[in-house]
Amino acid sequence: MPNASTARTDESTRSRILDVAERLVQVRGFNGFSYADVAAELELTKASLHYHFRGKAELGEALMARYSERFAAALAAIDEKVLDAPAKLDAYAGLYADVLRGRRMCLCGMLAAEYHTLPEGLRGAVTRFFDANEAWLAKVLAEGRHSGSLRFDGEVRETARSIVGGLEGAMLVARSYDDPERFRSAAALLLASFTRPGTQAAA
C-alpha cells in the first residue's frame, strides 16, 4: 500500500499533468497536443503519464471534470457575493475575459470546435458544461426579469443560450486579433441590451 508521501507525490504529479494539458488544449485544441508534448514539458516519461491517465480520452475527461468543478465554484461565488442580476451577468462575462487575458480560450469553447472528433465521453462532458452554464444564466435572467432589472423578449433559456453563444463567439474573434478589448466591447454591448431603457419585457 502506498504511503502518505507517495500519495501526495502522485497527486502533485497528476495535478501538474492536468495543468499542462489544460493550457495546451486552451492554446492548441485537444487534437493539437500529444502525450509526448506533456511528457517533454514536465520531463516525465510517457509511461508515467499512462500511470496517471491510461489514455488521452481519460485525460480529457479529467480535465473537463476539474474545469467544470472550478467554473461551478466561480458561479457559486458570484451568487454569494453579487446581489443584482445585471452585475451577475457582468461577473459572468468577466470569467471569460480573465481567461482571454492569459492568451487562452475557454476550454470548452476549444473542445466544442473539435466536437465531432472528440471521444464520446468527452463530448458528453462538453455538452453538460454548456447545459449547466445555460441553466445558471436562465436563473439569473429570471431573477432579473422578476425584479425589473433586466428586460428582454423571449424565453429565459433561449436568451441564456444567446449569451453563451455570444460570449464564446466574441472570445474566438478577439483571439484571432490578439485583442482582449474586442471581447470586452462585444460583451458590454451584448449585456447592455438586457438593461437598456425602453426595452420591453415579455409578459
What one-letter code names the amino acid at 18? L
- The rounded distance, in Å, linking the Cα atoms of 72 and 78 is 10
Band of the pLDDT at 4, cuts 50, 70, 90? Answer: low
Residue 139 has a pLDDT of: 98
CA dist 141 → 3, 72, 88, 199 (Å)? 50, 17, 10, 14
Residue 1 has a pLDDT of: 52
Whether the per-residue pLDDT at 203 is higher than 90: the answer is: no
- The rounded distance, in Å, linking the Cα atoms of 186 and 179 is 12
Which CATH number applies to 57-192?
A: 1.10.357.10
CA dist 199 → 22, 73, 97, 160, 185 (Å)? 40, 32, 27, 17, 20
Contacts of 23 (CB under 8 A, 6+ apart): 104
- The rounded distance, in Å, linking the Cα atoms of 117 and 137 is 28
- The rounded distance, in Å, linking the Cα atoms of 105 and 13 is 24
pTM of the model: 0.88
What mean pLDDT value characterizes the chain?
91
The percentage of residues in the chain with a pLDDT greater than 70, rounded to a whole number, is: 92
* Domain ranges across the chain: 57-192
- Please report which residue ranges of 43-179 form alpha helices under DSSP H: 46-52, 56-81, 85-101, 107-113, 120-147, 156-177
- The rounded distance, in Å, linking the Cα atoms of 122 and 57 is 7
